[in-house]
Structure 1
Amino acid sequence: MGAAPAFNTPKGADPAGEVALICPSTLASAIASDDPPLVLEATVGCAASGASCFVPGAVLFDLAAVDVYEEDATGSPLPLPGNYNLRPPAALRAALERHGVRARRRCVVYTQCRRHTTAAREAQERGHHHRYRPAASREGVADPIVAARLVWCLAYAGVERVALLDGGMSLWLDGGFPVAGEPSPAAPVADFFDGRGGAFPRRPEYRASVEEVAAAVAASGGGGGGSGGLRIGDVRAPCEFAGEGHDYAYAMPHGRIPGALPARWGPSTFVGSEYYAPRTGVLRPLRELAASWRQAGLLQRGSRRAGGA
């Protein structure tokens, strides 16, 4: 049995950038400073429609700008390679530049997205966007994963300092911080790297391809959760992990990657209560998550890689 291949970390890569959580009071101070961050409100389809308030200076960023959404007339995803994944590097970079994103400017991301928690039964509510509710309705449960995906995308691209606003708009409003009545227009930039050059994306190791994972699973004898270097976390509901079903409104295959370990997402496809509070979207403390991952075998005992836990 051969060793699992290393993922594509380039030689001489820059040190990992800063990816962090930020609280509303810290963000408010940063916005008022001489060097304010670029604030991005991550949205999906209709999720931002009807919103009556925004973090001051926030620019709307629909994930459709960076993700491929190929759907049929009912809104169900087409079975195409790369669907519901990031766009190719050139298109991804162009989308970031259109939204004013630069590698050396700090970005803070939040979302107002909320999801339904019950199965959709109407044909017009099928597809990727069917569970998102207009922000003004405040229905359903918070979905900070929309913002987390954009944070990951920015880090993968090479933005050196990225932060997720913990609790999103819910905690911002609860704290009584100032709001804007409408989002700010994007201020496009000509060059993500500001003339410094460099390969894009800068952090390709933040993304694993199907081929890389398949090769690693094969090299480990199909035991991705074994004692070697490879551990695959399955961040889905228990019914999905067990191959018993899901809550999507369209057909999806059942089962899991061989050797994958349960990363304890939450009770259903769209409610990740093991990771965040459904009402506000506030993330669970990292120490608690690390303990859960160790119990599942995703982190080695005694490892201090997750928040010093």
Structure 2
Amino acid sequence: MHIENLKRFLDAGTTFSFGDRVTPHTANDFWRWAFSNMNVPVLRGVLIEYLVAQKLIAHCDDIVGDTVRALTTYTPGPGDLTRSIEKHYQVQPHGDVFDLQLSWGVTLEIKSTASPANWRLNKTCRWNIIEDKNLKETVFPAQFYILAQMGPQVSFSDSALNLGAITFHVRTGEELERLAAGQQSLGFARFVGDESARPGCGYDQLPAVLLDLQTQRLQRVRKKLRPDWKLVPRDGQDDFMPLAVERDGKVEAWWYWQVEVEGKWTAVPIEPIESPWLPDETPGWRDWEAAGFAYVPEVVAMAEPEEAIVGP
């Protein structure tokens, strides 16, 4: 559904029809029926994802501004980074790999639970954006994960919905890979871990916590980068993507152009990007993303099964 039609659908007075048979029900009736019980954890989780995403989008300049200025020649003004992404999140990004991307390589997943004993986070298949294929290999693909620990129920106070004292736990994807210890998932206790090292935080503290983690990440990757290197954005930046593409066991950086071909989105190579790495560095995929690229893992063809040997 296109954005303009979606906005019309969100109008509380919008009615529904089956062909020329108009029903008496409105969008407001539907929203009240489907989403009014915020004691349902799934619905609260969607609301929390929305509120967290809006908070981080509003603070995008604070969280990734230093990173953008350090790794690229772009000098954003106040509010520029927020405006550059908020148009992409007017609706929930269903089907996307990540819940939120603040800048290239700064990707987030936002989770929630009201039942810590039963909660688990699974690894997901890696995705090749160029060929639009999922790989067999599974990882924690986002660079940051936020887990909201919800209370048992909500309340109304002065005409406001009070979600209660929610604790947010923030971890990096790299941390989760270590904590999972080769397993395909991890539970709440392992996700939270030793809170003395990084205690949970409140809603208003989320931007500062992410800024601290992103600053540490930037400091680590800059030690691996050539001191004279900066990425020079192309005109029409929204349509061009800095990709680190794995092919034949090697990784090359290219500007790609995102384009729709026969109803499917794909990426077309435009021009190579000079390697940012010091001569002795062998960067991993998270290093590439820390340097401001989106990493594209290679699609490896599955081996053909051997023909069965037929006996006499």
Q: TM-score, normalised by structure 1?
A: 0.27
Q: Which gives a bigger RCO, structure 1 or 2 (Cα 8 Å, sep 6+)? A: 1
Larger radius of gyration: 2
Tell me which protein shows more strand as a share of its residues. 2
Tell me which protein shows more helix as a share of its residues. 2
Q: TM-score, normalised by structure 2?
A: 0.26
